[in-house]
Amino acid sequence: MDARPLFQALRALSEDNASFFERSGTESGRRVAAACAALREHGRRLEPALRHFSRLAPRFDLDEATPGNGYRSLAQVARSCLAHAVRKSRYVAAHRRSLFFRAAHNAAELEAWGAALAQLRAMLCLAQRMLARNAPGCLFAEEGGEEEEEEGEGLSATVLREYSTMRNGCFYGRCLGFQFAPSLRPFLQTIAIGLVSFGENYRRNDLGLGVAAGSLFTSGKFALDPELRGDEFERITQNLDVHFWKSFWNLTETELLASVASMTSTPVGVCRVLAVPPEPLELPLAADPSVTVTIAPPVAHSGPAPVTMRLLSYHLREGQDSAALSALTRAEGPRGPSRWWRGPPLPPSPGLLVHFHGGGFVAQTSRSHEPYLRGWARDLGAPILSVDYALAPEAPFPRALEECFYAYCWALRHCRLLGSTAQRVCLAGDSAGGNLCLTVSLRAAALGVPVPHGIVAAYPVTLVRAAASPSRLLTLLDPLLPLGVLCKCLSAYAGTEEEEEEASPPSPEPLGPSALLRRDTSGRARASRPGGGRPEEGERQEPPPGSPPEAEGEGLEYPDEFQPLRSQGPPARFMPPPAPLAKNPYMSPLLAPDAMLGGLPPVHLVACALDPMLDDSVALARRLRALGRPVTLQVVPDLPHGFLSLGPLSAETRRATALCTRLIRDVLQPPGEGTRRGSLLLGTRRDSLAPHEGTRRGSLLLGVRRDSLAPHEGTRRDSMVALHEGPRRGSVLLGVRRDSLAPQEGTRRDSLAPREGTRRGSVLLGVRRDSLAAPPEGPRRGSLLLGTRRDPPLTHGCRGADAPGSPAAAPPGSAAPAHPGVGGTATAGEAPPQPPGAGSLPPPEARPPPRPPSCATQPGGGAPSPPDGPDPPRTPPGRRLSAAPLGSRRASGPAGREVGS
């Protein structure tokens, strides 16, 4: 996208608005003029930087078909901020002369966008330093050699130190979520208001629901004052410990919210919580099934304990109602196991999905992820086993990995209890769960047990350390994954949370009325200051107490004497995990050696273009691609981290969730197999050059491939090659091929080649008209014929009154030909008689015997006469015709078989 029109518009509008409001004698007018001047200066400085990153960003993509990396994301966020600043400037220019124009409100809006552009300038400067110091083509310095790694560690520490003093409250006030899809911004604003209200009333030993109820009474002030909300959001994300985030995120685990989510989500046939005892398992080796390996139960940190899992299945299948599985089931609160399926159990599914939930390794269970898992169970038709692994900081690494690996092996060993044969197994997870999918597969490959057939990881974290990358710079403005939260979660999983908790500053007191006045964050106190109380972007502030020095090469120097806005509070401490533990490949799969990564199954990554974890996915995909391993990367735009849990909120999240579903279905479906029996196919591939198998028996086909150049067995339109088999028994065919020049066995219109009639048990809606070829064999026994052929053309040797079977052509005493499939076979040029009533035929005695057709043009070269007499009845193989008279059957079809039987 070319940003030059944005810069030109911003420059013109800022100059116009500044010149207008400079003549104003009010304080609000001077604030508007100063904010417009700041916007113009930021635009002038940002333009060359954006041009530079737009030119270099494609070098860091996975390939040309997959554009996405942190440098692209930074440029996109800067352009989005510019677009919002231009839109606001246009509004001011259009309404500044109105009597209802609120100068103070619009001045605050322009100041907020100016502050956002100032911080984005600082982020682009940090990204420029990464671009200069990292190895060519590397997003993380750890991808290079030891020299680059040591250099990268110094750069990461410098970036963390710089971020600890930079102000980010401007991104959580009026500019909250500006980079995401507009449909998600109201939800993000609600989350931010709830977060700061919850943080004001938070006490570590209080119940989360009680704190949430108390937060409702204090949320109004944060909704009315965006600047106050931004200040509090910044304080919470930098100072409160991981237990606060665990309590806030676990609000979705409460009985009230979980029950509401369960009632509004897709119903499933089976929803059971299992507690698997910690017993050793025996699994055969993948290379030699005659040799088994023993899988020990999890013991890290807390010793052996049952592993909790949740089984979901849209259909009740064999084994899911067994006594052995019931013995493992435990009650979940007041509700028992969910089951609405009332029919007999279905056969085991060949596919099995093992799911690991997200939550930063510290919060949530499968219950909070149950809404989209229920949708997966319906769309995939396979059982889903979601693992509730132990959470940090109480159970740090490697406890979660041990429990997930044990659950995966248990699922392979007892797949029949889960309603699956485990012929195709897929691992799926989001965020922290995506990391566990990769590490479980690495461990399975290392022990020699069967690895899954594929991995689908949504926005996974592949480098569990506070390392600097272009996309991780977005943590300064991300409302769902700020840098402080990311570092606290990674430290908790690495086992360093206790040290960080001791050194972290105590949480401040709740914000009462007197505290608000002392902090001077109310709108009236800010408006009383010159310039609205915000320091200018070039103004040097007094360093806050305890802030690190910026001299002696420890801080960052910015060009043009520019300085970003600094936080007014003490700097936050972002402690990364210790280097030796963070380099463990079972914690950070991105750092795994090539030999370990070579054992991974096909990996399908789904990342968000605006997610701080984007570079984790891109870097891993590039490593796997370099090793020749099968890997795909899908980058979805305009969505935040954790979009799977936001599926019902917008069309964008629903499309992204459907993308994950399709990738999982591709893993669970055996290669080369078409649509399965009993499936519903709504629109298939068009303009495809690859063959695929046709629709199977019992499927419903609505809309088929067009303009295909390769043969396939399904129904197509406008095909010029290779015949294909018609609809299979029991299928419903709506719309068939037209204008085809190739022979085909299915039902067609305007065809030049013969084909076999409709198969037994099919429903035919509309058949051939005006056919130039010999008529096909009639519908087989048990089919329903709605609409038959009429008006045969002259090329059959007769037409109109001379047509065989017409009243004028039949001499006295002659009979019409028997209906196909009942008493004889229709010959060329004959039209079968119309049935006297829908779904019934006249009795045999009411129909005259058939006669040979006569045509005056036959001796002169017309159509050859058929042999005398009707053909003998044709009996399908393996069946005998019923001896009962047709008149004794009710609503029978052409074959004499009762309709609907």
- What is the set of active-site residues? 431, 611, 641
Q: Which residues pair with 385 in a beta bridge?
A: 311, 354
Pair of tokens at residue 319: 């084994």
Q: How do 292-295 and 732-734 pair as beta strands?
A: unpaired
Go through the chain and tell me how many residues it has.
901
Contact 476, 168 (CB under 8 A): yes
Residues 459 and 434: their CA atoms lie apart, in Å, by: 7
DSSP-derived letter for residue 758 is: P
Residues 135 and 796: their CA atoms lie apart, in Å, by: 78
Which residues, 6+ apart, have CB-to-CB distance to 263 below 8 Å?
Answer: none
Residues 812 and 830: their CA atoms lie apart, in Å, by: 18
* Residue (of 729, 684, 693) closest to 711 by Cα position: 693
Contact 36, 110 (CB under 8 A): yes
Sheet of 329-330, strand order: 329-330, 270-276, 307-313, 384-388, 349-356, 420-430, 454-458, 603-608, 631-636
**3-state percent helix, strand, coil for the chain, nearest multiple of 5:** 40, 10, 50
Q: Where are the alpha helices (DSSP H) in 57-133?
A: 70-95, 103-133
Residues 695 and 677: their CA atoms lie apart, in Å, by: 8
3-state helix/strand/coil string of 188-238: HHHHHHHHHHHHHCCCCCCCHHHHHHHHCCCHHHHHHCHHHHHHHHHHHHH
Which residues, 6+ apart, have CB-to-CB distance to 659 below 8 Å?
Answer: 606, 634, 636
Pair of tokens at residue 292: 């088994």
Q: Residue 396: how many CB atoms within 10 A of its CB?
A: 24
Contact 758, 747 (CB under 8 A): yes
Q: Which residues pair with 429 in a beta bridge?
A: 356, 457
